[in-house]
Chain A
Amino acid sequence: MSKILENQKITEDFYLMKVEQDNDASMGQFYMLRAWDKYPLLSRPISVYDADEKTVSFLYKVVGQGTEIFKELKSGDEITLDGPHGNGFPDATGKIALVGGGVGVAPLYLTAKKLKEAHPEATVDMFLGFSGEAMLVDAYEAAADSVTVNVGGFVTDDIDPTKYDVIMTCGPEIMMKVLYKKCVSVGATAPLYVSMENRMACGIGACLVCTCKTANGNKRACKDGPVMLGSEVFGNE
Chain B
Amino acid sequence: MSKRLETVFAGVTFKNPVALASGTCGFGKEFNEYFDIQKLGGLCSKGLTLHARGGNDGIRVWETPSGIMNSVGLENPGVQHFIECDLDRMNSLDLVNIVNLGGHSMEDYLQAVEILNDYKLDILELNISCPNVKAGGMNFGVKTEMAREVVREIRKACKHKLVIKLSPNAEDIVSLAKACEEEGADGVSLTNTFLAMAIDLKKKKPVFENTYAGLSGPAIKPISLRMVHQVAHAVSIPVMGLGGISTWQDAIEFIMAGATVIQIGTASFMNPRLAVDVIDGMERYLEENGIENLSEIRGIL
Is B30 in contact with A211, judged by CB distance below 8 angstroms?
Answer: no
Query: Cβ of B68 < 8 Å from any Cβ of A?
Result: yes
What residues of chain B lie closer than 8 Å to A200, measured between beta carbons?
61
Which residues B50-67 have CB closer than 8 A to chain A?
Answer: 54-55, 57, 59-63, 65-67
What residues of chain A lie closer than 8 Å to B23, measured between beta carbons?
207-208
Query: Cβ of B246 < 8 Å from any Cβ of A?
Result: yes
User: Which stretch, A38-46, A92-100, A131-139, A228-236, touches the partner chain B?
Assistant: A38-46
Which residues B1-50 have CB closer than 8 A to chain A?
Answer: 23-26, 30-31, 33-34, 46
**Minimum Cβ distance to chain A for residue B2 (Å):** 29
In the bound complex, how far is the Cα of B136 from the Cα of A64, in angstroms?
A: 35
In the bound complex, how far is the Cα of B32 from the Cα of A205, in angstroms?
A: 12
In the bound complex, how far is the Cα of B34 from the Cα of A3, in angstroms?
A: 22
Residue in B26, B46, B55, B65 whose beta carbon sits within 8 Å of that of A211 in the complex: B55
Interface string of A164-205 (1 = CB under 8 A from B): 000000000000000000000000000000000001111011
Query: Cβ of B272 < 8 Å from any Cβ of A?
Result: yes
**Minimum Cβ distance to chain B for residue A46 (Å):** 16
**Minimum Cβ distance to chain A for residue B42 (Å):** 16
What residues of chain B lie closer than 8 Å to A208, measured between beta carbons?
23, 26, 46, 55, 60, 72, 75
**Minimum Cβ distance to chain B for residue A96 (Å):** 32
**Minimum Cβ distance to chain A for residue B193 (Å):** 13
In the bound complex, how far is the Cα of B24 from the Cα of A206, in angstroms?
A: 6
Interface string of B252-269 (1 = CB under 8 A from A): 000000000000001011
Q: How many residues does chain B have at the interface if contact means C-beta atoms less than 8 Å apart?
A: 32
User: Knowing A209-B60, A211-B55, A213-B57 touch, does A41 contact B68 (C-beta < 8 A)?
Assistant: yes
What residues of chain A lie closer than 8 Å to B54, measured between beta carbons?
213, 218
Query: Cβ of A210 < 8 Å from any Cβ of B?
Result: yes
Query: How many interface contacts (CB-CB < 8 Å) are there between A and B?
Result: 82
Which residues A50-108 have CB closer than 8 A to chain B?
Answer: 65, 82
Is B61 in contact with A204, judged by CB distance below 8 angstroms?
Answer: no
Query: Cβ of B70 < 8 Å from any Cβ of A?
Result: yes
Interface string of B161-186 (1 = CB under 8 A from A): 00000000000000000000000000
A39, A82, A209, most chain B CB atoms within 10 A: A209
In the bound complex, how far is the Cα of B66 from the Cα of A210, in angstroms?
A: 20
Interface string of B120-141 (1 = CB under 8 A from A): 0000000000000000000000
In the bound complex, how far is the Cα of B31 from the Cα of A206, in angstroms?
A: 8
Query: Cβ of B218 < 8 Å from any Cβ of A?
Result: yes
Is B55 in contact with A207, judged by CB distance below 8 angstroms?
Answer: no
What residues of chain A lie closer than 8 Å to B66, measured between beta carbons?
38-39, 41
In the bound complex, how far is the Cα of B268 from the Cα of A82, in angstroms?
A: 13
In the bound complex, how far is the Cα of B34 from the Cα of A205, in angstroms?
A: 13
Query: Cβ of A114 < 8 Å from any Cβ of B?
Result: no
User: Knowing A41-B66, A42-B68, A204-B33 touch, does A209 contact B266 (C-beta < 8 A)?
Assistant: no
User: Given contacts A41-B217, A202-B269, could you give 9 more A-B pairs where the C-beta distance is less than 8 Å?
Assistant: A39-B66, A41-B270, A42-B63, A199-B59, A204-B30, A204-B272, A207-B23, A207-B26, A208-B75
| Nearest 9 CB-CB pairings of A with B | A209-B61, A209-B60, A206-B30, A206-B26, A204-B30, A205-B30, A201-B61, A208-B75, A202-B269
Q: List 24 A-B contacts (CB under 8 A).
A: A39-B66, A41-B66, A41-B67, A42-B61, A43-B270, A82-B272, A199-B62, A202-B24, A204-B31, A205-B30, A206-B26, A206-B30, A207-B24, A207-B70, A208-B23, A208-B26, A208-B60, A208-B72, A210-B60, A211-B60, A211-B75, A218-B55, A218-B75, A223-B30
